């Protein structure tokens, strides 16, 4: 029993040691539970705070959304009011011009009536013509004074013999009749000049529309590269000739426009236009050649003045994606831009204001403008026609391949399109039908902005080039002459550059490949331009080069 008591005591000691260990662990766990409960309470309080903040932010968002809707409604109302004010202003100016014209016409009629009355009175007036009393004859003797009376009437009366004899006598003094007649002639000239000066209304400025003037020059197809330059710091995307055929502009990915003069078969740098916010995709001159418009990748178009030392640019902002095309209309005060935001916008350049937005349903790669039509080429392989006086699309012509460029003929009867199916198509706008499709072995469209151009080339005929209206420059064959040639639109050509740097020229009338020019280009040709005189061609490529062809 004593042995069992000892064993039981040892077992009891072991159990007591285990109990103390477990009690210490329980205390540690209770402390941990307290800490976790405290952390849980803190997390719960943070969750409540976050919920309160979210609710406050939700309420602020709703308030801002309501305020934004109110602001948008107010903006729409202000835009409508601005349009109404503009219409009323235009109508007021038109009424003021009409009233001013009416007043001028009344004043002119009153002036004409007054002059007519003066002429009638002068015709009925009797004028005395007398010689000086100190008149000496040929023999040196002094003669007496002689008086001659001349009655001015509407119808001449027969003169008797005595009067005829008096008319034969010499006299020195200037006659009052000659003065009166000269004054009448001056008055009539003044009236004619006044009528000529009254050609335009003084109540408003007439819109300037520029028409191209035919140039008496024999054009020919280019055959060789005359000049080669590294034009930009990176690839060149666009090139365009000015109206005078000696000034051209190039734009590239370096965000600059360089102006060049063609002098003696060489390209000479004239001016650099900076300030574009992105890569330049197209350039265009206004009809007078005084402004340059460029489309850029910074969702805007830029407008510069040509020839100014520090040229300031106007920014036409409003697109929400890259602007791929920017063209002037028939006046220098209006322009059209196309963008990848699926819109085409018309601009009033006098106020840098977007006067119309057209939703075109697809990426727009190029636009051209006619008299009353806007033509846009798109990424969905379609060419769309828009009436500039109406809101809807008037016609859609499908083509195979994404449209990269459009070029309108001078007579606005044919449209040239270039597309990514490696073809050029000539569309007859009179019947809205594809007239020709140009292909060539080796020709491939190098990019989505590859530009092709139309060109009418005038062939010489043996006739004298004489202006039909002197000072205007319009040619009309009058008589044969071996010294000069007169321009006649005998051929039209399509020009485009390929991915391998080759230029291809097709005859539009026959549809045959006329020639292919291989030269200094070692990369894809992005754009080409044919001068208005027809004497030279310029091409630009992705390797920074600009080439002048003759």
Compute the distance between CA of residue 327 and CA of residue 497 in angstroms, rounded to an integer: 21
For tokens 């030269």, the residue is: 519
pLDDT for 346 equals 92
Compute the distance between CA of residue 213 and CA of residue 422 in angstroms, rounded to an integer: 34
- Which two three-digit tokens encode residue 373? 């039509």
C-beta separation of 477 from 431 below 8 A:
no
- Which two three-digit tokens encode residue 344? 């085409």
Compute the distance between CA of residue 282 and CA of residue 294 in angstroms, rounded to an integer: 6
Length of the chain: 550
The class level of CATH for 225-549 reads mainly beta
Compute the distance between CA of residue 546 and CA of residue 250 in angstroms, rounded to an integer: 9
For tokens 């291809």, the residue is: 504
Distance of CA 454 to the CA centre of its chain: 18
Distance of CA 357 to the CA centre of its chain: 16
The CB density around residue 125, as the number of other CB atoms within 10 Å, is 13
Q: Smallest Cα–Cα separation from 334: which of 242, 244, 202, 207? A: 207
pLDDT for 161 equals 41
pTM, two decimal places: 0.58
Q: What angle do CA 13, 15, 19 make, to 5 degrees?
A: 115
Query: Who contacts 450 (Cβ-Cβ below 8 Å, separation ≥6)?
Result: 404, 405, 418, 496, 497, 524, 525, 526, 527
Compute the distance between CA of residue 550 and CA of residue 538 in angstroms, rounded to an integer: 9
For helices 2-124 and 176-197, angle between their N-to-C axes, nearest 10 degrees:
160
Query: Who contacts 292 (Cβ-Cβ below 8 Å, separation ≥6)?
Result: 249, 257, 259, 273, 283, 284, 285, 286, 303, 304, 306
pLDDT for 127 equals 56
Compute the distance between CA of residue 220 and CA of residue 445 in angstroms, rounded to an integer: 25
Query: Who contacts 367 (Cβ-Cβ below 8 Å, separation ≥6)?
Result: 325, 327, 336, 337, 338, 344, 374, 375, 376, 377, 406
- Which two three-digit tokens encode residue 24? 């210490």
Compute the distance between CA of residue 502 and CA of residue 214 in angstroms, rounded to an integer: 30
pLDDT for 45 equals 93
C-beta separation of 534 from 518 below 8 A:
no
Compute the distance between CA of residue 87 and CA of residue 89 in angstroms, rounded to an integer: 5
Residue stretches of the chain with pLDDT short of 70: 126-219, 309-312, 391, 456-491
**Burial zone of 21 (CB within 10 Å; 0-12 exposed, 13-18 middle, 19+ buried):** exposed
**Burial zone of 150 (CB within 10 Å; 0-12 exposed, 13-18 middle, 19+ buried):** middle
> Mind spelling out the 3-state secondary structure of 73-106?
HHHHHHHHHHHHHHHHHHHHHHHHHHHHHHHHHH
pLDDT for 411 equals 83
pLDDT for 84 equals 86
pLDDT for 292 equals 93
- Which two three-digit tokens encode residue 142? 């002094």
Q: What stretch(es) of the chain map to CATH 2.130.10.10?
A: 225-549
Compute the distance between CA of residue 382 and CA of residue 384 in angstroms, rounded to an integer: 6
């Amino acid at each position: 029993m004593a042995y069992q008591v000892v064993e039981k005591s040892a077992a009891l000691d072991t159990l007591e040691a285990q109990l103390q260990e477990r009690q210490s662990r329980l205390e540690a766990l209770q402390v941990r539970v307290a800490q976790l409960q405290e952390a849980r309470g803190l997390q719960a309080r943070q969750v409540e705070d976050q919920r309160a903040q979210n609710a406050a932010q939700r309420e602020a968002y709703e308030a801002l959304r309501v305020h934004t809707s109110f602001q948008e409604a107010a903006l729409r109302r202000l835009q409508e009011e601005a349009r109404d004010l503009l219409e009323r202003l235009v109508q007021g100016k038109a009424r003021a011009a009409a009233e001013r014209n009416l007043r001028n016409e009344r004043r002119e009629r009153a002036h004409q009536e007054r002059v007519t009355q003066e002429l009638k009175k002068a015709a009925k007036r009797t004028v005395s013509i007398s010689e000086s009393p100190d008149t000496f004859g040929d023999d040196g003797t002094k003669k007496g004074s002689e008086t001659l009376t001349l009655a001015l009437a509407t119808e001449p009366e027969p003169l008797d013999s005595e009067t005829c004899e008096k008319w034969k006598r010499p006299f020195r003094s200037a006659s009052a009749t000659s003065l009166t007649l000269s004054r009448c002639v001056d008055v009539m000239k003044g009236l004619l000049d006044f009528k000529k000066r009254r050609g335009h209304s003084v109540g408003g400025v007439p819109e300037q529309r520029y028409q191209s003037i035919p140039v008496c020059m024999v054009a020919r197809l280019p055959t060789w590269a005359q000049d080669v330059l590294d034009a930009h710091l990176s690839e060149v995307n666009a090139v365009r000739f000015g109206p005078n055929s000696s000034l051209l502009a190039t734009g590239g990915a370096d965000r600059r426009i360089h102006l060049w003069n063609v002098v003696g078969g060489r390209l000479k740098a004239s001016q650099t236009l900076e300030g574009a916010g992105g890569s330049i995709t197209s350039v265009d001159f206004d009809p007078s050649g005084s402004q340059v418009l460029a489309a850029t990748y910074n969702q805007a178009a830029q407008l510069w003045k040509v020839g100014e030392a520090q040229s300031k640019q106007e920014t036409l902002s409003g697109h929400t994606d890259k602007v791929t095309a920017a063209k002037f209309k028939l006046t220098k005060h209006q322009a059209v831009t196309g963008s990848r935001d699926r819109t085409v916008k018309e601009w009033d350049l006098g106020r840098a204001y977007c006067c119309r937005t057209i939703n075109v349903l697809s990426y727009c790669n190029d636009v051209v403008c006619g008299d009353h039509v806007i033509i846009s080429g798109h990424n969905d392989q379609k060419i769309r026609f828009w009436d500039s006086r109406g809101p809807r699309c008037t016609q859609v012509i499908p083509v195979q391949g994404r449209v990269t460029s459009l070029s309108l003929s001078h007579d606005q009867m044919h449209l040239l399109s270039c597309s990514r199916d490696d073809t050029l198509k000539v569309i007859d706008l009179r019947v809205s039908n594809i007239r020709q499709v140009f292909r060539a072995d080796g020709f491939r469209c190098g990019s989505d902005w590859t530009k092709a151009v139309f060109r009418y080339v005038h062939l010489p005929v043996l006739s004298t080039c004489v202006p039909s209206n002197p000072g205007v420059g319009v040619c009309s064959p009058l008589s044969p002459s071996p010294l000069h040639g007169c321009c006649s639109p005998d051929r039209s050509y399509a020009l485009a550059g390929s991915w391998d740097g080759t230029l291809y020229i097709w005859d539009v009338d026959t549809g045959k490949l006329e020639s292919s020019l291989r030269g200094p280009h070692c990369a894809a040709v992005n754009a080409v331009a044919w001068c208005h005189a027809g004497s030279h061609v310029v091409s630009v490529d992705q390797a920074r080069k600009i080439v002048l062809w003759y």
